[in-house]
Structure 1
Amino acid sequence: MAAPDKQPTKEMVRDVGSGSSSRDEELGEMASMKNNELKKALKNRHLQMIAMGGAIGAGLFIGSGKALSAGGPGSILICYAIIGVMMLFTCQALAELAVVYPSNGAFFEHCLRFLDPTWGFAIGWGYALTWMIILPFELVAASITIRYWNDSISMGVWVTVFLVTLSLIQIFGVRGYGEVESVLSIIKIMACTGFIILGIIINCGGVGDQGKLGTKYWVEPGAFRNGFEGFASVFVIASFSFGGTELAGLAAAESERPEKSVPKACKQVFWRICFFYVLNLFIMGLILRSDDPRLLGSGAIDTKASPFVLAIQDAGIQVLPHIMNGVITIAVISVANSSTFGFTRTVQAMATVGMAPKYLAKIDEQGRPMRCTIVLILFSMIAYIGLAPSDAGMQLFEWLLALTGVAYFFIWGSICLCHIRFRKAMKIQGLSLDLIPYKPSCGVWGSWIALTLNGLCLMASFYVCANPKPGATAAQTVEGFFKGYLAAPVMIILWLAWKVRTGSWRLQTPLHEIDLRTDAKFINPADVNREPEKQKSLPRRVLGALF
């Protein structure tokens, strides 16, 4: 039966199990700090658009160019499809947890409940730091895209314009975030759809003087480049391209009807992966050579190196490259907007349970975590350092971005592990799965598959970062490794730091001690059909996960 809508007390926390008194006091203090809630203003259409186009950004429009150059069109097709499957199962697991426990911090609070408070601390700060660092980088990136049209105006002007715009959006709270993301997502979806149609026309020789291309570029220079190292590099790039997919689950606490909208939004991930990533990149690989030197670009964000822009330019179309550059600018701004949402909600939830400064737990009368927003906006002014004439500013950005590196793999893997342990705890504590409002058709096996794929991603990232580049010195190899893999030791340091602070050294919360009832939105047992459900065939179970 659903728990009453009241905040947990110390007595309720102690009823969870027979854990140590120090942990009881810690959890009791966390529970007693709860304050007013975020405003539930996200409608179903907001979540659908956030799920469909929210994470489409520079990773697709620009990063895919480096992936094409590194591994070829065959590697792109395979790697993006594999990571897409991983994200589908991860989002399905997150949907089940978010419907039962629609909390402000989503997977951060799920880690506190199902894994261990210490790991929850590491995941929460790892996720918050990722968005905190990405935001100023995206401001610089958006300013760089403007230079495609006009490089006479200082980029500092555009950084200011974008920063002020983001600040104004925050005044309207989560509703403003939802509306802006809906509009920007529609533009990105239309651009992806238009490119697919245009790419087919170009491939068939309907535009330009290249003639019919067919699978010409799959034969020469070939479908795969640079052997296994090239394939592993694409695997890593593809993984980073899906960052932000988990935001639909984070928004559950501010959704009007999370039990309906969150599962539907997470199911949209499959179609976004198939249509906007796999199909787009497949067509891009048909109409652009993977050995084109222009794909290497001159920086982290170089719209002139975007494979989408290059393919349109090669077809001799004059106006569309400008339109595509505008779409890339919009995509970068969209990611910046998502950064604000991801950081503020995570830090507010952490402050609520005592893992961040208590000052940041405050939510204003309009249901906005404005104190967290102010902190983020102030930190984002570091973007101006990236505009310095010397290389020192960009060097700083590179090391800050290194803190985000493989953090997503720990986050996604933790979501899957939370789902696995949630199901195990339900079984051990004698609770029926019929109490769960939404269950992924692939069940816990999807989480096991996604968890395994996350492990493979970590190994592939380690291989790419540790493998010496041709002509690189030992110092350059070490520097390259830490710039790509620094997030892993940082996560471990965060985990150890909270272990030392709390003095709790057990690795995980025992399954019988996991609190499954507090704040749970279970189905009323009286409404559950007691007749055993017939086991569906595998094809029907798979289709059920997608529709």
Structure 2
Amino acid sequence: MTAFTEEMDHEKPEVVMPQIYEYVSEHTRSTLSPDFDFALEPRIEEPPNVEDRRERRGESLWRVLNERHISMIAFSGTIGNGLFLGSGTSLAVAGPGGAVLCYIIMGTVISSVISCLGEMTSLMPVNAPVMEFPRRFLDRGVGFAVGWMYWFAYAILAADELVAVSNTIKFRYDDGRTFLNWKIGEDVDTAVWITVFLVLAVTINMFPVKVFGELEYVFGCIKLIFITMLIMLMLVIDVMKPRSNAYYTQSLGSKYWNNPYSFFNPVYSVTDENGNIQRTIAGAAGIFLGMWTTIINVIFSYVGMDIIAATAAESKKLADAESMKMGARKISLRIITLYTFGMLMGSFVVPRDHPFLNGGGQSVGSHSIFIIAAVEAGLPSAAHFFNAIFVFSSFTCSINSTYVASRVLYTLALRDQTGPEFITRRLRQCRSGVPIRAVMATGFILLVSYLGSTGAPGQRLSELASNCTVSCLIMYIVICATYLKFFQTLAYVKNYGNASEAQAAMYDRDNPRYPYKSHGQWLKACYGLVACTLLVLFNGVGPFLEHPFDTRRFIASYIGVPAFVFLILGYKIKKHGLKLQNWGPERSNDLKNTIQTNSDVRVGRLELPYEGLWTRENLRTFGRWVWVWLK
């Protein structure tokens, strides 16, 4: 392992590839040219029974996760209180149409980033692709910096979700007509709840990864069913005849989109850190500021979609090109669709000027448009159920974030990038395929969640969470820039390299067996790169509008940028000292170990075998196609 890590990160510009498994069927091999074997070298056949390769103790993760586990881990890690609790702020600031538009816009940005990552990983299945590909195509220092920012972002995100759990348990709703509260949440100190859920999150992450994957599959299914039910319930509330105990006497319809309301909120309110309104900005400037602020808030809802690639080291089908392709497409389609419809249905049943969305309310749960809608529709019991799911949602997101952070730290240790050898050696250690020490080290960082228990320290954690969002945006910028360099390298090798015909076919995006191609992907990469760069540069617009200037909030909005630069500089100084002439880009542009699909029938594409529509085989094919997209 020491030799492996030294080769991976030290001293030679040429990257030595990590061990991967590729699958090529005998039928496929027989139809290829003799050069194809050379194009695949070096190639390692995976034993028929992967279980036989496991070691109870060692420095290796177990490849035991199926596609359904990977998809649900990413789904469960993304679906959190960004929508359930944060959508109320979006509705109040941007208006109903503006809020829906913000979710769609940010959905297209993040989807562009994920498709970049998905294409590279499908063609070259490697461990930790978020860090490995920048090392290959941009610079090793960039890969090092992305790795540490990736770990910090998810560790802080896990802590923030623990605080959200403790705050959501303190449920109280009192609008003068309906009174709801959870006495146990109000009577027990916040620190106690943080302790309980922190211990549970770390403990679950120490389960064997097969057990963890099954739990995450169950968690993801619960969230998927709940959010689907929530959207349908909001639609029913909007169109049904009001109950006798409802707050209104006529069905709502599009009432909250019509006069005196509007598509956008035409007035932007500048508030201080305590929520007090300092001044208002009306007209076009107010609409623009409301939309921009909401887009920045919505980013938090989408953080987690990149988890689809973070599970690569434990994927049973790492070398199955179709697995990563389907995972990337499904997570984008599911999240954007559910978020957009969730925000749309919520905007029809709650007005943007509701007092609980604009500084009122007695608890975090009372700010949720879904709880407000349930209470005012005369369904107070549903409000209790919703809040319970919100607690569950925050807790499971904390589990997922801890998982991602621990695997990132483990990968950094494999590359000797975690400090002294005695620390690095321990962080590499696994038991039953789980990096126990990396999980414990990440759990130690989660102790910062106690900053969020009361008062001003809670503001400090909120600022750390803001920095987490910026760190993720920087990571997305790097992914898009990496893809553009990868795209350029593919074109160069295909057109000007000395590769054989079989090798050149591996790099041809127009080849029918190219694993994952999105049309206009380089344009999507440019779109994601520009959009995320603008969001990083102007995410701190709020402090400039406040009086006096909020220095601390400004620093929280931008500290991630110099931190990223300093990490790169630290890597260069450690490796080359102050010899600036050696600080140039260190990249290999390595395209070895690329793979192709092993079948002309592509997973996820509906191709009916017979012309007649209602044949039995066509129906079976259609059923299998539906299941592929649902599982």
Common topology (TM > 0.5) = yes
- Please give the TM-score of this superposition, normalised by the length of structure 1: 0.84
Letter in 2 for 1:245: M
Paired with 2:451 and 2:140, the residues of 1 have a C-alpha distance of 36
Gap change, CA 1:480 and 1:167, over 3 Å in 2: closer
After alignment, is 207-216 or 66-75 more displaced?
A: 207-216
Secondary structure at the residue paired with 2:144?
helix
Q: 1:241 aligns with which of 283, 297, 301?
A: 301
Following superposition, the deviation at residue 93 of structure 1 comes to 2.1
1:362-373 superposed matches below 5 A: 362-373=428-439
Paired with 2:481 and 2:209, the residues of 1 have a C-alpha distance of 29
Partner in structure 1 of residue 113 of structure 2: 90
Q: Percent identity, aligned pairs only?
A: 26
Q: 1:168 aligns with which of 194, 197, 203?
A: 203
Secondary structure at the residue paired with 1:221?
coil
Q: Do residues 490 (structure 1) and 548 (structure 2) align? A: no
Following superposition, the deviation at residue 7 of structure 1 comes to 8.1
- Please give the TM-score of this superposition, normalised by the length of structure 2: 0.73
Partner in structure 2 of residue 352 of structure 1: 414
Q: Do residues 272 (structure 1) and 334 (structure 2) align? A: yes
Structure in which a larger fraction of residues adopt helix: 1
Paired with 2:533 and 2:491, the residues of 1 have a C-alpha distance of 31
Secondary structure at the residue paired with 1:319?
helix
1:441-520 superposed matches below 5 A: 441-443=517-519, 445-460=520-535, 462-468=537-543, 472-474=547-549, 476=550, 478-503=551-576, 506=583, 508-509=585-586, 513-517=588-592, 520=593
Secondary structure at the residue paired with 2:61?
coil
Partner in structure 1 of residue 489 of structure 2: 425
Partner in structure 1 of residue 595 of structure 2: 522
Q: Do residues 374 (structure 1) and 440 (structure 2) align? A: yes
Gap change, CA 1:52 and 1:365, over 3 Å in 2: closer
Secondary structure at the residue paired with 1:104?
coil
Conservation of the 8 A alpha-carbon contact between 1:52 and 1:268: no
Gap change, CA 1:501 and 1:8, over 3 Å in 2: closer
Following superposition, the deviation at residue 248 of structure 1 comes to 0.9
Q: Do residues 186 (structure 1) and 221 (structure 2) align? A: yes
Secondary structure at the residue paired with 1:432?
helix
Structure 2: runs of 5+ lacking an equivalent: 20-57, 172-181, 266-285, 498-502, 601-624
1:221-370 superposed matches below 5 A: 221-225=261-265, 226-258=286-318, 259=320, 260-297=322-359, 302-357=364-419, 358-370=424-436
Letter in 1 for 2:465: L
Partner in structure 2 of residue 17 of structure 1: none
Gap change, CA 1:94 and 1:68, over 3 Å in 2: same
Partner in structure 1 of residue 619 of structure 2: none
Gap change, CA 1:427 and 1:461, over 3 Å in 2: closer
Letter in 1 for 2:452: G
Conservation of the 8 A alpha-carbon contact between 2:154 and 2:405: yes
Following superposition, the deviation at residue 111 of structure 1 comes to 1.2
Letter in 1 for 2:569: L
Q: Do residues 393 (structure 1) and 451 (structure 2) align? A: no
Partner in structure 1 of residue 252 of structure 2: 213
Partner in structure 2 of residue 24 of structure 1: 12
Conservation of the 8 A alpha-carbon contact between 2:407 and 2:435: yes
Following superposition, the deviation at residue 468 of structure 1 comes to 4.8
Q: Do residues 153 (structure 1) and 188 (structure 2) align? A: yes
Gap change, CA 1:185 and 1:461, over 3 Å in 2: same
Following superposition, the deviation at residue 461 of structure 1 comes to 5.1
Secondary structure at the residue paired with 1:422?
helix
Structure 1: runs of 5+ lacking an equivalent: 1-5, 15-21, 530-542
Partner in structure 1 of residue 235 of structure 2: 200
Choose 1 or 2 for highest CA Rg.
Answer: 2
Paired with 2:223 and 2:196, the residues of 1 have a C-alpha distance of 21
Gap change, CA 1:131 and 1:434, over 3 Å in 2: same
Partner in structure 2 of residue 117 of structure 1: 140
Secondary structure at the residue paired with 1:24?
coil
Paired with 1:371 and 1:427, the residues of 2 have a C-alpha distance of 42
Gap change, CA 1:419 and 1:8, over 3 Å in 2: farther
Q: Deviations over 1:308-327 (max 9, x none)?
A: 11121121212111111111
Letter in 1 for 2:554: F
Conservation of the 8 A alpha-carbon contact between 1:67 and 1:237: yes
Secondary structure at the residue paired with 2:261?
helix
Following superposition, the deviation at residue 223 of structure 1 comes to 1.3
1:26-41 superposed matches below 5 A: 36-41=59-64
Paired with 1:413 and 1:187, the residues of 2 have a C-alpha distance of 32
Gap change, CA 1:298 and 1:412, over 3 Å in 2: farther
Q: Do residues 413 (structure 1) and 448 (structure 2) align? A: no
Paired with 1:114 and 1:252, the residues of 2 have a C-alpha distance of 19
1:33-52 superposed matches below 5 A: 36-52=59-75
Q: Deviations over 1:502-535 (max 9, x none)?
A: 236655346xx42222xx25249xx799xxxxxx
Quote the RMSD (CA, aligned, Å). 3.2
Letter in 1 for 2:94: G
Letter in 1 for 2:547: A
Would you say how many aligned residue pairs link Structure 1 and Structure 2? Answer: 506
Conservation of the 8 A alpha-carbon contact between 2:100 and 2:343: yes
